[in-house]
Chain A
Amino acid sequence: MSSAAFPARPLRRGQGPWLYAAAAVVALFELGVTWLALHPDVPADYRAYYLDQTTTCLNEPVNGSYSFGTEVTFRSSPDDRLIKPLRVCGWEGPVGDGLHAVGESARLRFALPYNAQNLTLMLEMVAVDMAGPRGQRVVVSVNGRNVGEVRAVPKTPRRFDFTIPNALLAAGHRLDIELSFPDAIRIDPQDSDTRKRSIKLLAGKVV
């Protein structure tokens, strides 16, 4: 290492080969980690939300614990604990005016008795004020199948009933409900799609 190419501290005799070897090991490690980082090994839900960004709603493993037939209020109340097992993703709150949907879809989960049949899902919703008189379309699907499309309007809460065909009742005895918001609004043009606003959920029931 005779050349003083850079104004650097001189090397001790015999250091060179060891330093080159260390550099090679470090470079290999960094290349290996780069390869691993570019090839993630993650669950499908993780991939859909964080990597592919095909959903704004990251499925969370809530158990859907629900007292069959009771109406759950999604406004902030002492019974907030009833809400937590039902809200899968895509919600903020509850606050005084309900559970706020954020993003392009939101999910709920209701665990059912094993013999539940001929079910009806009731959801009470109101559109966010900025939606204007046209309100917000809400496409509702249950266990992956579309069961209807409704329109929520601002200021006036509406109750909607959805008939659940028995054929949709899964072996797991639960309803996985997805609410999609095709008209969801960005408050600021630069807002992320995970911050889009659409409706507030006020109450829900499965009977």
Chain B
Amino acid sequence: MTVLQPDLPLAGAGALRLRWPLAATLALIPAGFVLIGLVIRYFGYAASVGDESIAGFPMGMCRWDCGWYIYIAEHGYHHFPTPGMNAAGNWAFFPLMPVFVGLVHMVLAMVPTMTLATGISILMAYVTSIIAWPLLGRDLKAYTIFSAYLLAGPWSIYFTTFMTEAAFILITTAALVALERRSYLSAGIAAGLLSATRIVGVFMSIAMAAQLLGDHIAARKPLRSFIPEILRRPDILLGLLLAPMGAFVYMAFLRWYVGDGLAFLHVQRAWARAYGNPLMFVWDALTDFPKTGWIPTFPQQLAAAVITGFVLTAILFVRRKWAAGTFSLISITVPLFAGMASTLRFTAAMAPLPILGSRLLARNWFITGIVVLGFFAADYYVARAWIDGALSLV
């Protein structure tokens, strides 16, 4: 059989068994970045606000959608009509992250919600680093870069405050690890959680199908036997069906609670999204030159993020990473139909892209060191821009 071999052997648990010095190293590297990132962002926060305090730091980092998530964690979802007497119900925000924080908050009620959410997010980012080890080719340099990216890098604000990105990148990574091991049932369970985290999580089911199709074609089997062979494997079938389960559970909840299972889609009308051609959105953003100076405009920054995302996605396909490539392609492209808003955040939290980027940058320890130092500097300035409300970071 000429099936392409995955990065991980199919042997299972043994594949992840580590010698303890290595395990300690893998545990300590992201732990160090947790501390460094906290210090860097604290200084960024202190430089941006007039009344900084350690107690106020978590809430000081709460921007944009963060306020919605705090509300959901503390009060749950809006009924209809909404308490604010407006059309913007909070049904657009998928439940996994805020509900998880809310449940933990019920146990640890003495801890402020935002402080708790910050701790949970950092823990999720830490775990993401560790479980990504096999996807990083078991290369300590790539692992160091990826850990720094999550915990002390330019976009660490997404993974260490109260947004959905920490959960999204963690569960995406878990699903991809399971797919690399061709454990479709585990991948389906992870994908099911992913689909309750952000709407694009449902596309992991397509990514799983792409992985299966890639393997099928690589084995030189005819296309007509693809579906029958899936039906002969109940674990794969169940995995594929479980993949969108989180979204279905949320739909069932919304149908019971609001009367509309698709409220998360319909409520977008209140945000007055402009729908159009993604290519035109990217082009318009790219050509939105600054009126003065040379610093790229916010739209240009978003366009740069999207283009970088597409380039990395193309490399994933070249490397025949069908699941990772398919998931990244769809999850970057679909939001673009509603414009450029949040595309930097979406691209930054698309797990396969920073994982691939880390592998590409990890040439030697010198370059790794330069990249990590660059991340530290960027973390400080981006944290300040985040607090100051830079639109490209929304």
Contact = CB atoms under 8 A, between A and B. Distances in A.
Contacts of A188: 274
A62 B85 contact: yes
Contacts of B255: 33, 36-37, 40-41
A26 B245 contact: yes
A49 interface: yes
Interface residues of B, number: 51
A9 B14 CA distance: 13
Interface stretch (A53-61, A138-146, A148-156, A173-181): A53-61
A23 B237 CA distance: 7
A41 B244 CA distance: 23
A30 interface: yes
A80 B212 CA distance: 60
A195 B234 CA distance: 49
B85 A6 contact: no
Contacts of A19: 185, 234-235, 237-238
B274 A194 contact: no
B249 to A, nearest CB: 8
A70 interface: no
Interface in B240-278: 241-242, 244-245, 248, 251-252, 255, 258-263, 266-267, 269-270, 272-276
B1 to A, nearest CB: 8
Given A30-B244, A37-B262, A6 B212 contact: yes
Interface in A20-64: 20, 22-23, 26-27, 29-30, 33-34, 36-38, 40-43, 45-46, 49-51, 53, 58, 60-62
Contacts of B85: 60-62, 84
Contacts of B276: 190
Interface string A163-207: 000000000000000000000000010111011000000000000
Given A6-B229, A7-B215, A33 B252 contact: yes
Contact of B241 (A11, A30, A36, A46): A30
